[in-house]
């Protein structure tokens, strides 16, 4: 899974398999991070607007 695992080899099979896995995990992670960060920002801006009205 990682180059520091003892059975790792820098061959095509490892690069294709693990590259594909990390590529998919990166997209999923990036999408999820974007949604969470944007929600925090949206919530803060919403709070600020509420305070502005008072």
Partner 1 sequence: MNETPLIPAGVKRCSKWQFSLWMGAVTAVLIWGIYAMFLIWYKGLNQTNMNDAYGFALWIWADLAVIALGGGAFFSGFLTYIIGKDDLKNIINFAVIIGFICYSSALLILAIDIGQPLRGWFIFWHANVHSMLTEVAFCLSCYFAVLTIEFIPLILENPRLAKKPFLHHLSHNMHGVMAVFAATGVFLSFFHQGSLGGVAGVLYGRPFAYREHVFIWPWTFFLFTWSAAACGPCFTILVTWMTEKITRKKLVKQEVIWLFAKISGWMIITYITAKTIDTLYWALVTAPSKGFTLMDFYSSPTYNIGLLFIEIVLCGFVPGLILITRRGRENSFFLMSAVILAVIGVSLNRWVMVLQVMAVPLFSFNDWYTYMPSWQEVATTVLPVAYGLIVISLAYRYLPVFPQEQELNPID
Q: For CA atoms 14, 19, 21, 22, give the dihedral sign.
A: positive
What is the distance between the alpha carbons of residues 38 and 46, in angstroms, rounded to a whole number?
Answer: 12
52 sits near partner 1 (criterion: CB under 8 A): no
Pick out residues in 13-42 that bind partner 1 (CB under 8 A).
13-14, 16-18, 20-21, 24-25, 27-28, 31-32, 34-36, 38-40, 42
Residues at the interface with partner 1 (CB under 8 A)? 1, 5, 7, 13-14, 16-18, 20-21, 24-25, 27-28, 31-32, 34-36, 38-40, 42-43, 46-47
């Amino acid at each position: 899974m990682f180059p520091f695992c003892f059975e790792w080899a820098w061959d095509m099979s490892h690069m294709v398999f693990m590259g594909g896995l990390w590529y998919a995990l990166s997209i999923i992670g990036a999408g999820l991070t974007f949604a969470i960060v944007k929600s925090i920002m949206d919530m803060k801006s919403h709070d600020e607007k509420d305070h502005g009205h008072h």
